[in-house]
Amino acid sequence: MKDELLQVNAMTQDSSPVQPLAGQRELVLRVMPMPADANANGDIFGGWIMAQVDIAGSILPARLSRGRVTTVAVNEFVFKQPVSIGDLLSFYATVTRVGRTSVTVHVEVFAERDPENLHVVKVTEANLTYVAIDREGKPRLVTA
């Protein structure tokens, strides 16, 4: 938590954002699913969660490569627990590999639920690979 606050402070007080370090987990997104995101069972659609994970996963690769990225592969995706309307979802990302033009990220999703008996559960985790792309959509070097 202290490291995350330091990073937020660094980003707000200095115009040059801090670079994500490989292996360092960072909170990249928080969102609360609404009734429109639920399926017929009343749980949240897996596809909605996948879309949020895709957004969350792209944040460190975009920062690291200083530009546009696109998803090339979802290497693994596990739904461990159902997500409910009103759960506060926190998405943590860790850079696990930096290639020539690609960055692979591990994303973990935690749900904070039941305010009267507050508890946090890991609901989803995934590994995704992003490719840094130029204006024409062609791969570019991550470190360029």
Ligand X SMILES: CC(C)(COP(=O)(O)OP(=O)(O)OC[C@H]1O[C@@H](n2cnc3c(N)ncnc32)[C@H](O)[C@@H]1OP(=O)(O)O)[C@@H](O)C(=O)NCCC(=O)NCCS
Closest-approach residue to ligand X (CB): 99
Interface residue with ligand X among 24, 71, 84, 90 (CB under 6 A) is 71
Helix (H, G, I), strand (E, B) or coil at 52: helix
Taking the complex as a whole, the smallest distance from the CB of residue 29 to ligand X amounts, in Å, to 18
119-138 residues near ligand X, rule: CB under 6 A: 129, 131, 133, 137
| Span near ligand X by CB under 6 A; candidates 21-29, 41-49, 80-88, 98-106 | 98-106
Interface residue with ligand X among 65, 101, 124, 127 (CB under 6 A) is 101
Radius of gyration (C-alpha) of the chain in whole angstroms? 16
Phi, psi (5° rounding) for residue 48? Answer: -65, -45
- Dist CA 120 CA 73 (whole Å): 29
Q: Among positive and negative, which fits the CA dihedral 29, 78, 98, 139? A: negative
